[in-house]
């Protein structure tokens, strides 16, 4: 005794097919259908600063520290800039202000030399100011190491445990 005979519709060329037909091959077989998945790159522009720079201020040598800045963009080009918009309200953009080490409240007074910065370990340092300065122009994803340098004036009275700070502002446009 023979079992049932199954007809394979997928191989039946005499029957017209449409794009919506499914194939059934019979008991125990499988059928397949395709689906296309597509993606479109959306607009993205983001900026991340990995670590804050911490300086140990002494008269012996200028203090240096670095921050790693990452730009992620789907734009064909972007520009990264740096400035000090005087977020503390001290009236001395580019200069580190004397602050309370716990509350960060202004105590009055700023260092006599502006904080300087350099990109990717370069030997040329630029004084930080309220005017945005270009750090780098690039495209897509890129990282930039920014080095800060702070010199103390010869007669500047900075005591052990005194705290000075300023907030740098990175801006990316593109």
At 49, list the tokens.
């600063």
Distance CA 86, CA 92 (A): 7
The tens digit of pLDDT for each residue in 5-55 reads 555 555 555 555 555 555 555 566 788 888 888 888 778 889 999 878 899
Name the residue among 54, 69, 152 with its Cα closest to residue 111: 152
Task: Report pLDDT for 22.
Answer: 56
The tens digit of pLDDT for each residue in 73-86 reads 988 899 999 999 88
34 CB contacts (<8 Å, ≥6 apart)? none
Residue burial 142-155, b: 16+ Cβ < 10 Å; e: rest:
eebebbbbbbbeee
Q: DSSP 3-state assignment of 73?
A: strand
pLDDT for 149 beyond 60: yes
Task: Report pLDDT for 55.
Answer: 94
pLDDT for 4 beyond 60: no
Task: Report pLDDT for 43.
Answer: 80
User: In the CATH scheme, what is the code of domain 45-173?
Assistant: 2.60.40
Task: Report pLDDT for 106.
Answer: 93
The tens digit of pLDDT for each residue in 65-115 reads 999 999 999 888 999 999 998 877 888 999 999 999 999 999 989 999 999
Q: Give this prediction's pTM.
A: 0.74
Task: Report pLDDT for 21.
Answer: 53
Neighbours of 115 (CB within 10 A): 24
Q: Which residue has the higher pLDDT, 52 or 136?
A: 136
CB 111 within 8 A of CB 166: no
Residue spans per domain, the chain: 45-173
Name the residue among 26, 31, 96 with its Cα closest to residue 65: 96
If you write DSSP's letter for every residue of 126-173 in order, what string do you get?
A: EE--SS-EEEEEE-SSEEEEEEEEEPPPTT----TT-EEE---EEEEE
């Amino acid at each position: 005794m023979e079992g049932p005979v199954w007809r394979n519709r997928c191989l039946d060329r005499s029957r017209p097919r449409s794009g919506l037909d499914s194939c059934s091959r019979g008991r125990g077989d499988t059928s397949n259908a395709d689906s296309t998945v597509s993606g479109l790159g959306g607009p993205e522009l983001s900026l991340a600063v990995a670590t804050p720079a911490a300086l140990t201020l002494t008269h012996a040598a200028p203090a240096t520290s670095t921050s790693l800045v990452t730009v992620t963009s789907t734009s064909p080009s972007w520009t990264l800039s740096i400035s000090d918009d005087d977020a503390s309200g001290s009236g001395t953009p580019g200069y580190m202000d004397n602050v309370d080490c716990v509350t960060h409240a202004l105590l009055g007074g700023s260092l006599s030399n502006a904080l300087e910065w350099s990109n990717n370990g370069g030997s040329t340092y630029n004084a930080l100011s309220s005017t945005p300065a270009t750090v780098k122009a690039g495209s897509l994803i890129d990282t930039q190491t920014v080095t800060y340098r702070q010199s103390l004036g010869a007669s500047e009275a900075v005591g052990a445990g005194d705290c000075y700070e300023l907030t740098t502002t990175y801006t990316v446009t593109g």
